[in-house]
């Protein structure tokens, strides 16, 4: 018997339940990836994600070849391509991972009915892209948790399934055509973009367990120290399994490990929100706000924010890191998002779109729902808090090293003074001459926010 394994956001060989199930009993498998024309922009992949994806596919193919197989890559409508592969291989069934977006639900329904019409079966596996499946833990009165803390309590109490090793051998039937694998394209790609693939993801995880996670609780908000795992793109593309990550981090133990696992639980939390309320990718989740400044009046401010020229050094450093690396520190994401959605009072969807255009880990659940959390339309139980970029800068980049790293106009200003360039005088003032004036007065921004939210 032969099975097709459809890879989506699970581009790995270790701890892969669909592949394991398909191989059971020595079956032949067609490991298939479809460059799906049906996924709408901006979720399909901006240049940074497409480049990282190409790395992941080449690495997956190399891993399969070491085991006697190969990756089959196609482009087009995912349902049509799966059906063609099923016919070419005369496969009995298809295995794939469950996923949470409206598009993923539609894809699953379409695939199931197309396959059943041909007398074949679709098997959808949980806990491939999450540690705990959406809906596996629920509050008494709803199909999902809307608040993180009680979710986390139940999530932590769940026993996770055991980790599966990588298969030793994969036999792929002859006669199933594949496109050539691409080398990473450079067009529009951030110069500092990380490399992708399961091999590198596993190396990074091992290094993190050895020498990063222990200090995570104390250091995760130190922006210049850059002391987070940077595993997010590997989790986004599924080159690492969240179940395996949680097991291995828990084995390290201690407060750092616990704080880190809690962040991985945030990822599952957002996914169970989106699975239950797929419209939350674009529609306000809990509280609707519609008094955002119009795109026309806010245009210059939005441009300054995107370009990293708001005149608030820590905001600008973060926005430039995003452009340069396709990645941003979590603290930086929080404060730049708060600056756009609350201080500038611009619709969170405009900011979320810019993040998705650039983030290598840009993810429909994590990005959209974190933006909603920050904007006060989502799951934050204190939706009216506003992060002050000055206080944030002084607290999380006290010496100013993060700002100096990303804002060359301020590279010669020593210490924390770099956070308030408008206070500089003498030589320092001339050194910082190319740096812009603030686009908004923080007190005015706060007053506008309070008016718009009816909290004056």
30-38, 49-57, 136-144, 365-373 -> range binding ligand FAD (CB under 6 A): 365-373
Backbone angles phi, psi at 371, to 5 degrees: -60, -45
Question: Least distance (Å) from ligand FAD to the CB of residue 228?
Answer: 3
Interaction between residue 263 and ligand FAD (CB under 6 A): yes
Select from 35, 49, 125, 220 the one that contacts ligand FAD (CB under 6 A): 220
Is residue 168 helix, strand or coil?
coil
Write the interaction track for ligand FAD spanning residues 344-363; mark x where CB under 6 A is met and - where it is not: -----------x---x-xxx
Structural Rg of the chain based on CA atoms:
23
Beta carbon nearer to ligand FAD, 67 or 289: 289
Distance CA 448, CA 356 (A): 27
Site residues for ligand FAD, window 221-250 (CB under 6 A)? 228-232, 235-236
Beta carbon nearer to ligand FAD, 138 or 263: 263
Beta carbon nearer to ligand FAD, 15 or 361: 361
Distance CA 434, CA 236 (A): 37
Distance CA 86, CA 115 (A): 9
Distance CA 307, CA 360 (A): 18
Interaction between residue 130 and ligand FAD (CB under 6 A): no
* Cβ count near 393 (within 10 Å): 25
Distance CA 176, CA 259 (A): 46
Distance CA 287, CA 383 (A): 9
Question: Least distance (Å) from ligand FAD to the CB of residue 267?
Answer: 4
Interaction between residue 156 and ligand FAD (CB under 6 A): no
What sign results for the dihedral spanned by CA atoms 231, 232, 233, 239? positive
2 DSSP β-pair partners: 28
Interaction between residue 334 and ligand FAD (CB under 6 A): yes
Question: Least distance (Å) from ligand FAD to the CB of residue 259?
Answer: 9
Question: Least distance (Å) from ligand FAD to the CB of residue 328?
Answer: 7
Beta carbon nearer to ligand FAD, 362 or 389: 362
**For residues 160 and 243, is the Cβ–Cβ distance under 8 A?**
yes
Question: Least distance (Å) from ligand FAD to the CB of residue 319?
Answer: 12
* ∠ Cα 306 307 312 (to 5°): 90
Beta carbon nearer to ligand FAD, 7 or 339: 339
Beta carbon nearer to ligand FAD, 212 or 421: 212
The order of strands in the sheet holding 121-125 is 72-76, 28-36, 2-7, 93-97, 121-125
Site residues for ligand FAD, window 372-431 (CB under 6 A)? 374
Distance CA 21, CA 246 (A): 22
Interaction between residue 270 and ligand FAD (CB under 6 A): yes
**Binding stretches for ligand FAD (CB under 6 A):** 220, 228-232, 235-236, 263-264, 266-267, 270, 330, 333-334, 337, 355, 359, 361-363, 366-367, 370-371, 374
């Amino acid at each position: 018997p032969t099975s097709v394994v459809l890879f989506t956001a699970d581009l790995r060989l270790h701890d892969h339940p669909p592949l394991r199930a398909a191989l059971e009993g020595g079956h032949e498998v067609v490991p298939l990836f479809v460059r799906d024309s049906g996924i709408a922009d901006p979720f399909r992949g901006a240049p940074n994600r497409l480049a990282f994806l190409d790395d992941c596919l080449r690495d997956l193919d190399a891993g399969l070849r070491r085991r006697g197989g190969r990756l089959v890559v196609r482009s087009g409508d995912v349902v049509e391509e799966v059906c063609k592969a099923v016919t070419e291989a005369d496969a009995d069934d298809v295995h794939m991972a469950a996923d949470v977006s409206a598009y993923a639900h539609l894809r699953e329904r379409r695939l199931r009915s197309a396959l059943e019409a041909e007398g074949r079966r679709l098997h959808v596996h949980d806990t491939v892209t999450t540690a705990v499946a959406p809906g596996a833990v629920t509050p008494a009165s709803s199909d999902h948790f809307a608040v993180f803390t009680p979710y986390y309590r139940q999530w932590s109490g769940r026993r996770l399934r055991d980790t599966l090793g990588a298969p030793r051998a994969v036999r792929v039937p002859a006669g199933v055509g594949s496109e050539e694998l691409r080398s990473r394209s450079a067009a529009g790609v951030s110069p500092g973009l990380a490399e992708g693939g399961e091999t590198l993801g596993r190396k990074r995880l091992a290094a993190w367990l050895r020498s990063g996670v222990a200090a995570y609780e104390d250091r995760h908000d130190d922006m210049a120290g850059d002391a987070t795992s940077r595993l997010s793109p590997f989790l986004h593309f599924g080159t690492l399994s969240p179940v395996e990550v949680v097991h291995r981090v828990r084995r390290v133990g201690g407060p750092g490990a616990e704080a880190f696992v809690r962040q991985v639980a945030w990822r599952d939390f957002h996914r169970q929100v989106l699975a239950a309320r797929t419209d939350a990718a674009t529609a306000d989740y809990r509280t609707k706000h519609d008094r955002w400044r119009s795109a026309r009046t806010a245009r210059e401010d939005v441009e300054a924010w995107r370009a990293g020229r708001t005149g608030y050094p820590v905001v600008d450093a973060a926005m430039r890191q995003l452009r340069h690396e396709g990645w941003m520190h979590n603290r930086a994401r929080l404060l730049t998002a708060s600056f756009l959605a609350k201080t500038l009072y611009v619709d969170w969807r405009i900011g979320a779109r810019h993040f998705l255009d650039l983030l290598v880990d840009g993810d429909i659940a994590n990005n959209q729902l974190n933006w909603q959390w920050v904007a006060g339309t989502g799951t934050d139980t204190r939706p009216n808090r506003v992060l002050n970029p000055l206080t944030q800068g002084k607290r999380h980049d006290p010496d100013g090293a993060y700002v100096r790293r990303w804002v060359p106009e301020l590279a010669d200003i020593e210490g924390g003074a770099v956070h308030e360039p408008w206070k500089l005088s003498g030589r320092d003032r001339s050194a910082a001459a190319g740096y812009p004036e603030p686009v908004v007065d923080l007190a005015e921004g706060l007053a506008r926010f309070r008016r718009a939210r009816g909290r004056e």
